A = this chain, B = another copy of it.
Amino acid sequence: MRATTLHAAQDIRFTEVDDPRIEKPTDAIVKVTAACICGSDLWPYRGENPITPGQTIGHECLGVIEEVGSEVSGFRAGDLVVVPFDHCDNTCAHCRAGMQAGCMNLGFTQSGQAEYTRVNQADGSLVALPVDHDPALLPALLTLSDVMPTGWHAAVSAGVRPGSTAVVIGDGAVGLCGVLAAATIGAERIIAMSRHEPRQEIARRFGATHIVAERGAEALAAVMEITDGIGADAVLECVGTDQSMKTAFDVARPGSMVGFVGVPHGVELPVRTMFGRNVGLAGGMAPVRRYLPELLELVLAGRIDPGPVFDLTLPLEEVAEGYRAMDERRAIKVLLQP
C-alpha cells in the first residue's frame, strides 16, 4: 500500500510499504477514507522525537473495515468506523473504570495517514458510524479519532463545570476543541489564549467569551482582570511546553485543576507552587473510546461541530505539503483524502 513515512526531520514522503496484516485474531484492517495530521505528529517531524527512517506515521483516521480477525464479533467488512488513536479492549479493569488510555491491551494506530491501517482489539476500540450520515459531517466525525476527545479530556481533567470560568491555553486544533468542550459542558466564561486572528475567530465560534493575546505576566494580568482577581476555575493546557504549563498554573485559582493533554516536552512542574496554591494537575493521553459514543451523539445531533478545526484539505499523496503547512502555522489542521 501507499503510506506516509518519515525518514528524517522535515523529510515526509508518501511511499510504498507492506500492507498491514491481521496479526492477532482480535485485529481488524481498516481501509482509510479520511485521515488528518495531528499537532503531535510535528514533534517527530521537527526531529524533537527519535526517528526510525522509513517509519509510518499518522494516528487519526476513519474508514471502512476491510478484514477482521477470527475473534472479532462486533464488526465485519464494509462497516464504516471511527478509529480511536489509542486502541483498547474496553473490558479490562482500567477500561471499565473509564481509563481506556491505560488499557491492559493498549495499542496504537501506526499508519493512519495511509491507505490501510491495523486496529488492535477491534471489538473494544472501534465505534460504528451510521452509513447514511451527511457527508458534510465528515470533518466533524474525523475529529472523533483524537482531537475532539482530547480537547474533551482536557476539560474533564480540569474539572470544568456548568457556570465555571475556564482558561484554554493553546489555539491549535486541540485547544480549539477544548474551548468547544468547555462550552458544551456549560462553562460560562471561556478565555481562549490566542494571538492568531483566524484561530481567535474559530475559538469565538466554539464558545470563547474572551480572547487573551498576551503572554507571560501580561496574560496573567489579563486573566485576573477578567476574573475579578480570582483566576480560573479550570485551566486546559493544550500545548505541552514549559512556558504554557507555567502560564496554566499562574492563571489557575487556588483549589483548581489544570487539565493537560499536550504531550509534555521539557516541562518542569512547579511542585512548591502547586502545593502552596493547591492547584492540581490531571490528564494525559485521552481515553478516546470512553468519550466517543457521547461525542458522536453530539455531532450527529448537530449539537457540536468541531469540523472547522480543519482549514486545509489535501489529497493524501500531498501529505508532505500538509506537514509543511502545519509546521509553518499556515494551517491549523490538515484533512487528507485518500
Contact = CB atoms under 8 A, between A and B. Distances in A.
State how many copies of this chain the complex holds. 2
Given A102-B253, A157-B280, A282-B280, A230 B94 contact: yes
Contacts of A97: 233, 253, 255
Contacts of A101: 254-255, 278
B285 A253 contact: no
Interface of A: 93-94, 97-99, 101-102, 157, 228, 230, 233, 253-255, 257, 260, 263-264, 267-269, 271-272, 274-285, 287
B281 A285 contact: no
Given A267-B271, A271-B269, A277-B284, A255 B93 contact: no
Contact of A264 (B275, B278, B279, B282): B275
Contacts of A263: 275
B255 A275 contact: no
A140 to B, nearest CB: 26
Contacts of A278: 99, 101-102, 282-285, 287
B255 A102 contact: yes
Contacts of A275: 260, 263-264, 283-285
B284 A276 contact: yes
B264 A272 contact: yes
B94 A253 contact: yes
Contact of A99 (B98, B255, B260, B283): B255
Nearest to A258: B280
Nearest to A255: B99
Nearest to A93: B230
Contacts of A253: 93-94, 97, 99, 102
23 contacts: A93-B230, A97-B233, A97-B253, A99-B253, A99-B278, A101-B255, A102-B278, A257-B282, A260-B275, A263-B275, A264-B272, A268-B271, A269-B271, A274-B281, A274-B284, A275-B284, A276-B284, A276-B285, A278-B283, A278-B284, A278-B287, A279-B284, A280-B282
